[in-house]
Homo-oligomer: A and B are copies of this chain.
């Protein structure tokens, strides 16, 4: 799936003051990120947990229609109820979707065997290729390299977004899966080292705000210019840290609103960023833009 090499953004869902979807702001955001390699719609950063089904597909539809560069679209579709995920895959209209991003079952803590059975069911049912998503800090369970290697044998599973932070696991994934199996970073700060051991890109949060700056980092790393990439990333580290201080997408929405894209509103159980964080992010953004 060469379509997903490089930098994709997990697009946030802008909300109005009434907490409905703010389509004008979404259009701005899609335009702001139009030079990225692809979009992820309805990812965790989109607050997918609080979007109802109608909203999810409306956003997908909107993205499809505001995509003049024909960017590939990945769609978040996963859960911890296998039967329900399979049902959605069998009934949803996924036309225009190039792949789904399907998170490892959260909260219920399946064994590795359970994870394999889950993803086999998902991949069997999916009309489009499936990207695994490993994010133990949220799900409470790690998907082992061996599990990923097993799943990589399924013809409808083409890669994994790994946010485990474990580089040795990354190396094991690269060394135990076919050459065209895609390892993508799920943590913006670890993408450079992950690329050095074989990752092909990143599904990014920061790219919502700084699409050019961050994709420059990734491209330099993908082109083998690691010293330059590291220097460029160095300028973004403090900003990135602040971005996650009050959770995600709380920070990234604060930063987007600072550059005129949408409001800082998030839906419960998340709460809006503090005034302090918004001020800090604005200042950091100004400094980054000056450099």
Residues of A that sit less than 8 Å from B by CB: 44, 47, 49-50, 80-84, 105-111, 113-115, 117-118, 121, 137-140, 167-168, 170-172, 174-175, 189-190, 192-198, 221, 224, 226-227, 230-231, 233-234, 237, 246-248, 250, 267-271
Contacts and interface: CB of A to CB of B under 8 A. Distances in A.
Contact of A110 (B82, B175, B237, B247): B247
Nearest to A188: B168
Q: Would you call the interface of chain A mostly helix, strand, loop, or mixed?
A: helix
Contact of A234 (B113, B174, B269): B174
A271 B113 contact: yes
Given A237-B171, A268-B121, A80 B189 contact: no
B230 A175 contact: yes
A82 B268 contact: yes
Contacts of A111: 246-247, 250, 270-271
B49 A107 contact: yes
Contact of A197 (B106, B137, B226): B226
B114 A270 contact: yes
B175 A193 contact: no
B109 A175 contact: no
Given A114-B247, A140-B140, A271-B114, A83 B50 contact: yes
A248 to B, nearest CB: 7
